[in-house]
Amino acid sequence: MNDITVPLLAVFVIFIVMMGIGIARRYRMCPPDRILVVYGKVGAGPARCYNGGSTFVMPIFQSYAYLNLTPITIEIPLRSALSSQNIRVNAPANFAVAISNDSEIMGNAATRLLGKAPSEIAELAREIITGQMRVVIASMTIEEINSDREKLISLITKGVEVELRKIGLHLINCNITDITDESGYIDALGKEAAAKAINDAQIKVAQENQRGAIGKAEAERLQAIRVAEAEAAAAIGRNKAEQDIVASQAELAEKRAEADRRAEVA
């Protein structure tokens, strides 16, 4: 009896150890730069997503995979997009997108992007972004596209963000590198704006010169008035001094005559 019990116990211990190792191997931890997707028998929904943290993946009934949150850079060499005036516009741009770790969007990423290579995700995002750029450009005039780039980027960002959320992505950055058109209309607008700026500058220079000439003439007039007033005041002063001298001399002569008369009488 004892000879049979020892092997059974050994087998049982080995089974427990192997089971523990299997359980440990099925306990998955998710780094912050990835999304852990557990699928199979997970209750409600096709999959369960974790960003950070850890979970136990049941053997046989469940499996798992990871989605990478590393940003993806996408170049869009957009050409011949029609504006609202039916003028074809070239607007090459750079975008940065990544799989979203928003709890409401991760499920979309698990459903539509799981198992896809970064190049496949980039191509899918490129098609969405290109379509949205064409839609936005078609709603704007050439003047708006050329002069209000902030509005253009804002509308593109808004439209792209909505569409990317449907496949589990989010937009990180949008940069339009240049805007041209095949007919040369934008170039003509630039030349017109430059000519207007030059004309405005010349007008301002002429106005400043005129203001300077008027100021100079006014200053000279005021100076002449002050000089004349000073000269008049000086003349009045001289006349007053001469009058005082004459009066003093007359008074002196009168006193001398009075003195001579008294002397003669005496």
What is the per-residue pLDDT across 100-112, written as a single tens digit (0 to 9) for each? 988 889 889 998 9
What φ, ψ does residue 34 adopt, rounded to 5°?
Answer: -140, 165
Tokens 């798992």 sit on residue: 64
pLDDT category of residue 12 using cuts at 50, 70 and 90: low
Mean pLDDT (the chain) is 83
pLDDT of residue 156: 94
Residue 60 has pLDDT above 50, yes or no: yes
Of the two residues 134 and 254, the one the predictor is more confident about is: 134
Q: Helix (H, G, I), strand (E, B), or coil: what is residue 69?
A: coil
Considering the entire predicted model, what is its pTM? Answer: 0.64
Stretch 111-131: mean pLDDT: 93
Give the separation between CA 122 and CA 129, rounded to whole angstroms: 10
Tell me: the pLDDT tens digits for 203-229? 887 788 888 888 888 888 888 888 888
Tens of pLDDT, residue by residue over 192-203, are 666 677 777 778
Q: If 0-12 CB within 10 Å is exposed, 13-18 middle and 19+ buried, where does residue 196 land?
A: exposed
pLDDT at 9 (0 to 100): 66
Q: What is the mean pLDDT of residues 155-165?
A: 94
